[in-house]
Amino acid sequence: MTSHLGWVNGTVSANATLRLMRDGRSFRVITSFPIGWSHTFPAVTIRDVPSGRYSLMLDVSSTGNMGAHIRISVSPFLFERQANFQRCEFGTNGMTAFYAQHHLHFTEQNGLDVRGQTNMPGVLLSGTGNAGGGASNLWGARRHALSGVVRVSLGVYDVFHSVGHREYAVLITPTTANRVATVVALQKHENRFQVEFRTNAGTPALADSAFDFLISGRNYV
């Protein structure tokens, strides 16, 4: 942070004090200094502050006949994350709440970044199933802790998740040519669903296929 001050009209004695204000009252003096043409403040970290509305105030006191102009340029907050870290911060370019396993981070430049469980409906899990079993490109809050995609038999696959209820919708896109997918409604469970693939021919027959999948619905039971 840099302040630029100037004066005219003779000899004066002037000092400035930078204060951190909380709810309109002085909370802490950050630094004091005699007024010159410019002054740059070093980075200051203040920890363990109580909740409230915070602002900065530059308090100027002087003796003598003084005229002044003041300009303050403020750099944005910098955010950091450490193990077992707990902090909420607000800056000129965004806000953040960081904890050991969860965070919410929003900035003008990078938008919203959320880590951890969220109570928002939408895409619960998406990914790619391989024709021989196994999954890749898994993304979403409801990924199963142990399993991905398991080939049960010819053309039949179980896709595992951790949605915790059956009120979800499934979208399947076969990525092997000439395949048609069917999600068996009775095989939608709280932690998996089953999908079958058949050839796209006059007499469809079960056949292995790679596929992309997407689960959407309520985030919580």
For the beta sheet containing 211-217, the strands, ordered from the edge strand earlier in sequence to the opposite edge, are 135-139, 122-129, 211-217, 168-174
- Cα distance between residue 107 and residue 112, in whole Å: 7
Contacts of the segment 175-179: beta carbons below 8 A, 24+ positions apart? 175/128, 175/209, 175/210, 175/211, 175/212, 176/131, 176/207, 176/208, 176/209, 176/210, 176/211, 179/207, 179/209, 179/211
The domain spans of the chain are 2-73, 80-116, 122-217
**Is the per-residue pLDDT at 47 higher than 70?**
yes
As a three-state string, the secondary structure of 61-92 is EEECCCEEEEEEECCCCCCCCCCCCCEEEEEC
- Cα distance between residue 53 and residue 21, in whole Å: 8
- Cα distance between residue 197 and residue 43, in whole Å: 61
Q: What is the pLDDT of residues 105-128, one digit of tens each?
A: 888 888 888 887 776 768 899 999
Q: Which amino acid is at 140?
A: G
**Is the per-residue pLDDT at 14 higher than 50?**
yes
Q: H-helix or E-strand containing 127?
A: strand 122-129
**Is the per-residue pLDDT at 158 higher than 70?**
yes
Q: Is the pTM of this model over 0.75?
A: no
